[in-house]
Amino acid sequence: MRKGLRIADCGNGRRIADGIWQIAKGVSGLREADFSNRLERRFATLHPCARIVLCALSLLLIRSPQSAILEAQAAPRGKAVYDKWCAGCHGDDGAGVGSAATYMLPQPRDFTKGVYQIRTTASGELPTDADLRRILDFGMPGTAMPGWESKLTENERTDVIAYIKSFSKFFAGKAPTAIAIGKAPSSSSEGLAAGRAAYQKLECFKCHGDAGRGDGKSAPTLTDDWDHPIRAANLAASWRFNGGSTVEDIYARLRTGLDGTPMPSFSDAVESKVVSDEDLWRVAQYVRSLSPEETPAVREVIRAGRVEGALPSSPADSLWAQAERYFVPLTAQIIVKPRWFAPTVDGVWVQGLHDGKRLALRLTWPDPSRSPDPAWDEWLGRVKQSVFEADGAVPVTQAGDRLVLQFPQRIDEEADRPYFLGGNTRRPVYTWRWTSNPDQATEATGTGLGKYVAAAASAVTHSARFNAGEWQLQLTRSLASADTTKSPIFREGQAIPVAFYAADGSNAEDDTRGSVSAWYAIYLDVPTPPRVYIAPIVTMLLTAGLGTMVVMQAQRREREHGRSNLEEYR
C-alpha cells in the first residue's frame, strides 16, 4: 500500500504538484519548494480512494509538460536540498571535493564528469534516472554514502537528482537506456564449478585474487579516474558491494562494468562469444557463493567451546572448522592522535576453544597485503596522497601488519572495564600483540593506544599464516596467569572482556592508525553442572506434592463438612 499509492506513482506526482503550482502561484506567496513539499505531505495523508480520484482528475485537467521542462524547474529546487545535505562531501560545485572528501576512501562522486559506477547502462553511458535514484534511496554499501529514502521526501529526492544531473554537460544529450538483463540460471554445484572455471578463464583473479579477497597481482596498482587508489573488491564480503549483493546485482556489474574504476564491462566479450551469457551468470553465482548468505550478525559474546582432546596447534588445524565463527566489526581509529581515516581492516572473525587448561583463539581477517611487501609501495604512496594526513605525516615506509587483543588486567564482573581504547594509566589493560614483521606475539601492559610495555617473557604462543589475502592467526595461553597483578586468570563460565585492534602496514597503518573494536566478551563454556538438571526435578516434585496435598485436604474437608456452608449462601 505504502509503495503502491505514493504520489510519484500516481501518473507523476511531480507533474501534479507542478500543475497545481502553476494554478496556485498567482494566489499564494509560498516559495515553490515549500509548496510542492507541503502538497506532497498533504497528499500522502489522504485516503487512498481520494488519492486515486485526485490523481485521475489532475491527469485530466493538467496538460502534461515535457519532462525536460519539469527537470529544468526541479533543478533549482534541488539546489537547496543539495546544499544542505550533499555539499559537505560532494562539494558546492559537485566536483566531489567537499569538506569531508579527503577524510574517506573511496572519495565522494565527482558529478561534473557524469561518470557513475552503478548503472544499468552500457560502459561509458550515463546512468538512467532510476539508477541514480536507487543509489540516492539506498546508498552505496562499503562507502560513506548512506541511503536518503528515510530522510528526504519523494519530491526532494526527485529534485536533487535533477540538480545533480545539471552538474554535467553530458546529461543534456539523449536519455540513456538500460541494457536487457535476463534471468539467472538455477543454481547448482556444477554451476558453481563452471563459475569458478569462468572466473579463472576471464582472469578475474588478476585483481580480485584467487580466493576473491581483492589481493590480485594488479590490486596494488589500481586507481580510479581521479587517480585515487581503489581496492579491488573483496568478493568474500558481499555486504560491502557498492552495487548490491544479489546474483542479479553482480551480473549487472559484470555486464556494465563500474565506470570510473578499473572494473571493465564484459558485454563486448559476451557479444563476441568470448564468454557465454550463461558463464557470466555462473561467475556471478560463484562470486556470490564466496560470501556468507547473510550479512554477519554482531554478537557481543564469543563462546569458546570446550574440547576433550588436544587444542589445535595452528590456524590451519581442521578442528577449527567445528568452532563457531563470530564477526567483530572494526572501525577507523579516529579518536586519539594520530588518527587514520581509511583503514584496511573492517572486521575480524573470532573463534575460540579451550580444554580447561588453555585458551586458544583463532583470528582471521582479510588483508590483501602481507606487509611489508614492495609491490604495495605504490599503493602506500597513493594513499598518502589521497587521504588527509591528520595529526602529522603518515609513515612513508611499510610497517608490518598487526593485531592486538586487549583484556582487563583483572576480570571482575562488578568492576568497570578499562577505557576501551587501549586503557589508560589509571586502569591499564593486558594485551596480546602480534606483528607480522617480525612474526611474533608478546604480552604487554597497555596504558593507551600505542603505549605499552612488553612483558619480559611471554606466556602467549602464536601461529600465523597468510593465505590468499587473509591472515589466519592462532593465539594460545594457559587459563592460569603468570603474574596476576598484570594479567587476568581466565575462568570457565565467566565473560572475559576483550577488544581488538588491527593494522595493515601497507596502508600507512601502525600502532594508532588502524581499526579498533568496542569491548566484547569471550565466554569459556563449562561442562553443565548437575544442579542445572537436579534443581528443576526437585522443584517439580515439590510442586506436584504440594498440589496433591492441597487437593487431598480439600477433598477431605468436603467429605467431612459437605457443601452445606456454600449452599447456605446461595
Partner 1 sequence: MSRVRQALRHPFWQAFILLLVAYLFFKFGIAYLPALLGMHSAPVPSSVIMQYMFIALVGVLIHVSSDEARWRQFKEPVQATLVDRDKKWLRLSLLVLVPLLVGFATYQRTRPRVDAPIELRSIHPAPPGQITFRGKTIPLTGLENPLRKRGSMPEHLRTGQRVYYQNCVACHGDRLDGQGHFANGLSPAPASFADAGTIAQLTESFVFWRIAKGGPGLPREGTPWNSAMPVWEDFLTEDEIWAVIIYLYEQSGWQPRRWEAHGAAEEGKAP
Partner 2 sequence: MRRMLLAVVPAFAILACGGAKEDAAEGGAPEQGEAPAGATKVAEGGASIGGTVKFTGTAPANPKIDMNEEAACKAKHEGQATDPEFVVNDGNLANVFIYVKSGLPAGQTYTAPTSPVVLDQSGCLYKPRVFGVMTNQQIEIKNSDPVLHNIKAVPKENRGFNISQPTEGMKTMRTFAMREVVVPLECNVHSWMNAWVGVLDHPYFATSAPDGSFKISGLPAGTYEVEAWHEKLGTQTMQVTVAADEGKTQDITFAAK
CB 468 within 8 A of CB 210: yes
- Number of C-alpha atoms within 13 angstroms, CB side, residue 379? 29
- Verify binding: residue 207, partner 2, rule CB under 8 A: yes
Distance in angstroms between the alpha carbons of the first and the last residue of the chain: 58
| Dist CA 200 CA 493 (whole Å) | 47
Single out the segment in contact with partner 2 by CB under 8 A; choices: 218-226, 237-245, 467-475, 534-542: 218-226
Q: Which does 517 bind (CB under 5 to 8 A by kind): partner 2, partner 1, none?
A: partner 1
At 54, list the grid cell.
485526485
**Do residues 434 and 464 touch, judged by C-beta distance below 8 A?**
yes
Nearest distance, CB of residue 230 and partner 1, angstroms: 16
Collapsed DSSP state (helix, strand, coil) of residue 436: strand
- The C-alpha cell 602506500 sits at 380
Q: Report the residue from 34, 83, 268, 300 that binds partner 2 according to the rule CB under 8 A.
A: 268
Q: Does 206 bind partner 2 (CB under 8 A)?
A: yes
Distance from C-alpha of 464 to C-alpha of 437, rounded to nearest angstrom: 11
Pick 203 or 324: Cβ nearer partner 1: 324
Task: Quote the CA–CA distance of 52 and 47 in Å, as a whole number.
Answer: 9
- Quick one: which of 9, 92, 93, 225 contacts partner 2 (CB under 8 A)? 225
Among partner 1, partner 2, none, what binds residue 225 when CB lies within 5 to 8 Å by partner kind? partner 2
- How far is the C-alpha of 117 from the C-alpha of 329, rounded, in Å? 26
**Of the candidate residues 74, 89, 115, 380, the single one contacting partner 2 (CB under 8 A):** 115
- Measured from the Cβ of residue 124, the count of other Cβ atoms closer than 10 Å reads 11
For residue 223, CA distances in Å to 137, 203, 230, 238 come to 27, 19, 5, 21
Per partner kind, with CB cut-offs from 5 to 8 A, the member of partner 1, partner 2, none near residue 99 is: partner 1
Q: Of 46, 59, 97, 275, which one interacts with partner 2 (CB under 8 A)?
A: 275
Residue 531: name its binding partner from partner 2, partner 1, none (Cβ under 5 to 8 Å by kind).
Answer: partner 1
Q: Cell digits for 340? A: 587514520
| CA triple 533-538-542, angle to 5 deg | 155
Rule CB under 8 A: is residue 123 a binding residue for partner 2?
yes
Size of the site for partner 2 (CB under 8 A): 34
- Is 269 a binding residue for partner 2 by CB under 8 A? The answer is yes
How near is the Cβ of 150 to partner 1 at its closest, in Å? 8
Exposed/middle/buried for residue 418 (C-beta within 10 Å: 0-12, 13-18, 19+): buried
Q: To the nearest 10°, the Cα dihedral for 182, 186, 191, 195? A: 30
265 binds, among partner 2, partner 1, none (CB under 5 to 8 A by kind): partner 2
Q: Are 360 and 312 in contact (CB under 8 A)?
A: yes
Cell of 411: 576480570
Residue 159 CA from chain centroid, whole number: 29
Three cell numbers written together for 177: 537506456
CB of 392 to partner 1, least distance (A): 13
Min separation Cβ 237 and partner 1, Å: 13
Residues 228-257 that bind partner 2 (CB under 8 A): 257
Separation between Cα atoms, residue 538 and residue 470, nearest integer Å: 52
Residue 554: name its binding partner from partner 1, partner 2, none (Cβ under 5 to 8 Å by kind).
Answer: partner 1
Pick the closer one to partner 2 by CB: 263 or 332. Answer: 263
φ and ψ at residue 246, rounded to 5 degrees: -80, 165
> Could you tell me which stretch among 107-115, 307-315, 423-431, 540-548 binds partner 2 (CB under 8 A)?
107-115
If one asks whether residue 217 binds partner 2 (CB under 8 A), the answer comes out as: yes
Q: Which residues of 313-333 are buried (b: 16+ CB within 10 A; e: fewer)?
A: eebebebbeebeebebebebb
The residue range among 18-26, 213-221, 238-246, 382-390 that interacts with partner 2, by the rule CB under 8 A, is 213-221
In the complex, minimum distance from the CB of residue 182 to partner 1, in angstroms, rounded to a whole number: 34
Q: Which does 495 bind (CB under 5 to 8 A by kind): partner 1, partner 2, none?
A: partner 1
Grid cell of 354 as nine digits:
579451550
Cβ distance to partner 2 smaller for residue 323 or 380: 380
* Interface with partner 2 in residues 163-192 (CB under 8 A): 170
Query: In residues, how long is the chain?
Result: 570
Using CB under 8 A, which of 125, 156, 159, 401 touches partner 2?
Answer: 125
Residue 137 interacts, among partner 1, partner 2, none and using kind-specific CB cut-offs from 5 to 8 Å, with none
Residue 219, contacted partner among partner 1, partner 2, none, CB below 5-8 A by kind: none
Contacts with partner 2, residue ranges (CB under 8 A): 113-115, 123-126, 170, 201-203, 206-207, 217-218, 221-223, 225, 257, 259, 261-269, 272, 274-275, 378
